[in-house]
Amino acid sequence: MSTLADRRFVLVTGKGGVGKTTVCAAEALAIAAAGKRVLVAMCNAKERLSVMLGSSPIGPEVTHVEKGVWAVNMRPENALEEYGVLVLHSRALYKALFGNRYVRSFLRAVPGMHEWAMLGKAWWHTTERLPDGSFKYDVVILDAPATGHGLDMLRVPKVMLDVVPPGLLRRDAERAWAMCQDRKTTAIVLVTLPEEMPTSETIELAAALRELGLPVSRVIVNGVLPPLFSSEEREAIARACPGEVASRGDAALVAGADRAVREQAQAESLARLSRALPVPPAFLPLLMEDAAKPEVIRRLAMRV
Ligand SMILES: Nc1ncnc2c1ncn2[C@@H]1O[C@H](COP(=O)(O)OP(=O)(O)OP(=O)(O)O)[C@@H](O)[C@H]1O
Ligand SMILES: [Mg+2]
């Protein structure tokens, strides 16, 4: 069972293209398999989750994807309006207030308003209830933007507390911020690859989040190669590798040496991550097939 199934809010971030959405998809299936209702909220994404889960395209309305799984692709403008309507309990009031150009220019001037619209909406989904009083979604997974933007987004509630005058918006920012900081309910998940640059970025991101009061709960290293060689073997292959390829044996040695170089870089990255991060990383294997397919995501879901 996913270690995140007992959280209410899961925020997934990491460098661009490292597999954040893949992890969100796999986690969603794992959490649903534990009998929970899960919503995956994407931030204005070029949406690929539907391909990964084999559903119809996912837009700005929450859609049911499969048993226990819902998804939404939030758009900042829509999210702001929807959120405004929710807070004010009236579209007419929203239009009267937000349609006012002074209010609009005030909102535009609030730093991170678009980020807040999406983070705030995702958080708000954690508070939604069914008529019987139970939570509509047991877990909301936010597929947050990549590193810098993800960090900006997570900074927003705190910024709001500094700049927004007391009122409804501020009250929600306070509640969202309190939830984000509560490790029992919220998990910050970083996804990375076992390579030098993503490793450095992940370590920096974890430090920046810690400074913000949002310690990382889980690190998933995606695309891990099963090691074929020990460190002694890696060195021996590097020494034996021919400069030129004159035979099939040479070709095999060159291929082996390439692999050994990658395994070495991977081992160094994993060692750095283990040293620098507050939690031991979890691993997902590098797949040699198109990973954006439901049957593959299902396999990954058994491993998250
Ligand atoms: N373990 C894996 N093995 C092989 N391919 C993978 C693996 N994980 C992800 N991929 C592929 O890598 C690509 C990027 O993955 P994904 O879209 O999940 O990344 P992302 O971090 O969400 O990207 P973005 O920053 O653009 O949102 C996709 O084509 C995905 O299918
Ligand atoms: Mg993505």
Rounded Cα–Cα distance for residues 24 and 189 (Å): 10
Question: What pLDDT does residue 230 have?
Answer: 94
Q: From the CA of 291, how far away is ligand 1's center (Å)?
A: 7
Residue nearest ligand 1's atom 25 by CA: 16
Are 2 and 103 a contacting pair, CB within 8 Å? no
pLDDT band at 29 (very low <50, low <70, confident <90, very high): very high
Residue nearest ligand 1's atom 16 by CA: 19
pLDDT digits (tens, 9 = 90+) for 50-103: 999 999 999 999 999 999 999 999 998 787 777 777 767 777 777 776 677 776
Are 245 and 254 a contacting pair, CB within 8 Å? yes
Mutate-to-test residue for ligand 1 from 21, 51, 58, highest number of ligand atoms within 8 A of CB = 21
Question: Is a pLDDT exceeding 80 seen at residue 163?
Answer: no
pLDDT digits (tens, 9 = 90+) for 251-281: 999 999 999 999 999 999 999 999 999 999 9
Question: What pLDDT does residue 96 have?
Answer: 73
Provide, rounded to the nearest whole percent, the portion of the chain with pLDDT above 70.
95
CA-closest candidate to residue 43, choices 9, 72, 64: 72
Question: What pLDDT does residue 111 have?
Answer: 65
Question: What pLDDT does residue 229 have?
Answer: 94
Please report, for residues 48, 166, 198, 246, the alpha-carbon distance to residue 190 in angstroms, rounded to integers and kept in the order given. 19, 33, 11, 44
Are 16 and 146 a contacting pair, CB within 8 Å? yes
Is 64 in a helix, a strand, or coil?
strand
Question: What pLDDT does residue 80 have?
Answer: 76
Question: What pLDDT does residue 258 have?
Answer: 93
Question: Is a pLDDT exceeding 80 seen at residue 304?
Answer: yes
Residues 6+ apart with CB under 8 A from 270: 194, 221, 224, 281
Q: What's the distance, Cα to Cα, between the start and end of the chain in Å?
A: 8
Does the CB atom of residue 73 touch ligand 1 within 6 A? no
Residue 66, Cβ density class (10 Å: 0-12 exposed, 13-18 middle, ≥19 buried): middle
Question: What pLDDT does residue 101 have?
Answer: 74
Residues with CB under 5 A from ligand 2 (ion): 20-21
Question: Is a pLDDT exceeding 60 seen at residue 1?
Answer: no
Does the CB atom of residue 222 touch ligand 1 within 6 A? yes
Question: What pLDDT does residue 109 have?
Answer: 67
63-66 and 69-74 as β-strands: parallel, antiparallel, unpaired? antiparallel
Rounded Cα–Cα distance for residues 115 and 144 (Å): 10
Does the CB atom of residue 145 touch ligand 1 within 6 A? no
Q: From the CA of 12, how far away is ligand 2's center (Å)?
A: 10
Question: What pLDDT does residue 108 have?
Answer: 67
Buried b (16+ CB within 10 A) or exposed e, 207-218: eebeeeebebbb
Does the CB atom of residue 31 touch ligand 1 within 6 A? no
Higher pLDDT, residue 291 or 93: 291
The pair of three-digit structure tokens given for residue 52, joined into one six-digit string: 């990964």
Rounded Cα–Cα distance for residues 191 and 18 (Å): 7
Question: Is a pLDDT exceeding 70 seen at residue 110?
Answer: no
Question: What pLDDT does residue 243 have?
Answer: 82
Higher pLDDT, residue 223 or 242: 223
Residue nearest ligand 1's atom 9 by CA: 19
Higher pLDDT, residue 215 or 64: 64
Question: What pLDDT does residue 224 have?
Answer: 97
**Range scoring the smallest mean pLDDT among 73-87, 176-190, 209-223:** 73-87
Q: From the CA of 257, how far away is ligand 1's center (Å)?
A: 26
Question: Is a pLDDT exceeding 70 seen at residue 204?
Answer: yes
Residue nearest ligand 1's atom 6 by CA: 291
Please report, for residues 33, 120, 177, 182, the alpha-carbon distance to residue 185 in angstroms, rounded to integers and kept in the order given. 19, 16, 12, 6
282-285 and 218-224 as β-strands: parallel, antiparallel, unpaired? parallel
Q: H-type helices in the chain, by residue range?
A: 20-33, 49-53, 76-88, 91-98, 101-109, 113-127, 147-163, 168-181, 196-211, 231-240, 248-276, 294-301
Question: Is a pLDDT exceeding 90 seen at residue 116?
Answer: no
Does the CB atom of residue 18 touch ligand 1 within 6 A? yes
pLDDT band at 107 (very low <50, low <70, confident <90, very high): low
- Over residues 173-187, the mean pLDDT reads 93
The pair of three-digit structure tokens given for residue 260, joined into one six-digit string: 């050994």
SS (H, E, C) 236-304: HHHHHCCCCCCCHHHHHHHHHHHHHHHHHHHHHHHHHHHHHCCCCCEEEECCCCCCCCHHHHHHHHCCC
Q: Which atom of ligand 1 lies closest to the CA of 191?
A: 21
Rounded Cα–Cα distance for residues 104 and 116 (Å): 15
Tokens 């049911």, residue located:
64
Q: What mean pLDDT value characterizes the chain?
A: 91
Q: From the CA of 19, how far away is ligand 2's center (Å)?
A: 7
User: Among all ligands shown, which has an atom nearest to the Cα of 150?
Assistant: 1
